[in-house]
Amino acid sequence: MSSDGTFNWSDGDVILRTRGAYSRDFRVHKLVLSLASPVFKDMFTIPQPSPAASGHIDIVDVADPPRALEVILQFIYPSPPPEVNDLTLLSEILVLADKYDIKTAQSRFRPSLMGFAKTEPLRVFAIACQLGFEDEMKIASSHVKLFDTLELTELPDEFNIIPATEYHHLLRASRRERSRPVPIQFPHGKARRWPWQKPKQETGQ
């Protein structure tokens, strides 16, 4: 069990204990978490093991990534949350913000997702799909057309948790974008109109 002193309040009345190889304890305050999250509030109403059996403090096991949980706690407590420049961590934070229904945290970190749309559109599409972010899904799918078709058969891990129908929608949209003719730009800013393209109607008539 790692113990680096982060979120180890001496007057904390509950320990959030993450699982796995990188398990950590976060000693925090029920009241603070309950005010920030209705999910935490409901969680703390569930009877916990006898305090005497756990050192006179409740211990709640959570299946959350420690790094993401720490960022969420930094957001809840009066301390500036760090800048997140890693898409995996950002995804985990957004999932926890959704899980614990912390809308202010979601609003704070959601815009950061678009910073990865051009370089990792497939992952952003899948993350947005998981969280129900329709605008982000549309923007990410518009960048998929820039990638080779093979990219859509070598999918990132995030696609394991989205419906297969969304993958097929993305595939069809990508193929549709690839089939569109691209006008050639000529001098003086004039673009050639292909025979199958209808002339644009003049405005103001």
Q: What is the pLDDT of residue 70?
A: 93
Q: What is the pLDDT of residue 22?
A: 78
Q: What is the pLDDT of residue 180?
A: 55
Q: Is residue 102 a contact partner of residue 72, using CB atoms and an 8 Å limit?
A: yes
Structure tokens of 15?
């320990």
143-161 average pLDDT score: 63
pLDDT confidence bin for 83, thresholds 50/70/90: confident
Residue identified by tokens 């193929």 is 175
Question: How far is the CA of 67 from the CAs of 13, 82, 93, 139, in angstroms?
Answer: 21, 11, 9, 28
Question: How far is the CA of 77 from the CAs of 23, 73, 94, in angstroms?
Answer: 21, 6, 17
All structural domains of the chain with their residue ranges: 7-83
**pTM to 2 decimals?**
0.72
189-200 average pLDDT score: 48
User: pLDDT (tens digit, 9 = 90+) per residue, 40-74?
Assistant: 999 998 776 555 454 578 899 999 999 999 999 99
Closest to 106 (Cα-Cα) out of 78, 128, 79: 128
Q: Is residue 140 a contact partner of residue 130, using CB atoms and an 8 Å limit?
A: no
Q: What is the pLDDT of residue 149?
A: 47
Q: Give pairs for 152-159: CB < 8 Å, separation 24+.
A: 152/122, 155/122, 155/126, 156/120, 156/122, 156/123, 156/126, 158/91, 158/122, 158/123, 158/126, 158/127, 158/130, 159/122, 159/126
Closest to 113 (Cα-Cα) out of 128, 100, 97: 128
Closest to 174 (Cα-Cα) out of 136, 98, 121, 134: 121
* Sign of the torsion formed by the C-alpha atoms of 155, 156, 161 and 166: negative
Question: What is the C-alpha separation between 82 and 97, in angstroms, rounded?
Answer: 15
Q: What is the pLDDT of residue 158?
A: 74
Residue 205 has pLDDT above 70, yes or no: no
Q: What is the pLDDT of residue 186?
A: 42
User: pLDDT (tens digit, 9 = 90+) per residue, 2-20?
Assistant: 344 478 898 999 999 998 7
Q: What is the pLDDT of residue 199?
A: 55
- Specify the CATH number for 7-83; select among 3.30.710.10, 3.20.20.70, 3.30.70.250, 3.40.1190.10: 3.30.710.10
Q: Is residue 3 a contact partner of residue 47, using CB atoms and an 8 Å limit?
A: no
Question: What is the C-alpha separation between 119 and 111, in angstroms, rounded?
Answer: 15
Which residue type does 204 have? G
